[in-house]
Structures are given as structure tokens and as C-alpha cells.
Amino acid sequence: MNRLIFVCMGNICRSPLAEAVARAQLVQHGLDSVFTVVSRGTHAYHLDLPADPRAQALAEQHGWALAAHRSRLLQPDDFQRGDLLLVMDRQNLRDVRAKAPPHAVGRIRLLMDFVSSPGADIPDPYYGEAADFERALGLIEQGVLGLTKHLLRLHNAGALHLE
């Protein structure tokens, strides 16, 4: 099975929200049997801690559960065939590419590359207010929707072969 890996710095704000949004989108579009979804962080600042309470509250408002989430660090086995690594900003992109083996570099993408804003960052809301989390979630939803449409096109064309 192919794996979508959402990556941010600490794996407590943006990437857990992206994981939750992607799970819901994949179920809605019948791709949940094709993909598994996880999230990771590039830094171990919050290793094994739950998602930020503000992210949890926002997820709960949308019917997504983040209470069981625990921050995980990006590991070498996260670069296997079939894995697509979707990062939240250009710093994450540099950090993940620096850790990636050469064969995996082409499967590391900014999430916003799948909307009309390629190269755009999803700002880290960690030091912000609730409105910053809502803005980040709005961008994540746009990115995941664009990604889902892209994956559906590939799947329907019989060209979805990440493995």
C-alpha cells in the first residue's frame, strides 16, 4: 500500500491536522484502501507528545480525533517506495531533502504544490493565536483537496503506481 506522509517541524500542529484532513478526504473519495496516512516531524522538540491543544480543538470542531496522536520523528524507513512526503513549508522541504536518500527526493513535495499556489508555505501557527491555526487549517484543506484530486486522476487513469 502507498503511504502519504505529512511533515512539519514538530509534528504537533500542521502535519497532524493534514493527516486528519487527508484521512477524511481519502475515505470520502474511496482512496482509503489505496493509501495509508501518517505524519512526522523534522525535529524532536515534542517527541511523543500529543498534538497541540489548539490543533486538537480545531480538529474536534470538524469531527476529527487527534487525542491519540503522538509526535513522531521522520525516520529513514519513511523514504520507502510508495511513500509520498508532503511538507508544509520550504524549510521543511530543505530539512526532509537533506535526510532523504537520492531515490526519494522526487517524492518530497510541498503540500501547496497541489493548488494554484505552488511553492507557497503553510505558516507554522505554533506561536500564534487560534486564528493562525484556522488559517493554517484552511490552507491545509486546500492543499489536501488538490492532492486528492491529483491522486484521483492518477487512480482513474490507472497510473497510480507509487509502489
Residue with cell 484530486: 149
Give yes or no: 132 in active site.
no
Q: Is 107 one of the catalytic residues?
A: no
Catalytic residue among 78, 89, 95, 124: 124
Any catalytic annotation for residue 8? Answer: yes
d(CA 90, CA 73): 18
Q: Which of 8, 40, 83, 89 is catalytic?
A: 8
CA 4 to CA 23: how far, in whole Å?
10
Which of 14, 23, 40, 54 is an active site residue?
14
Provide the 8-state DSSP code for 77: G
Phi, psi dihedral angles at 2 (to 5 degrees): -80, 150
Query: Rounded distance, CA 141 to CA 136, Å?
Result: 9
Q: Active-site residue numbers?
A: 8, 14, 124
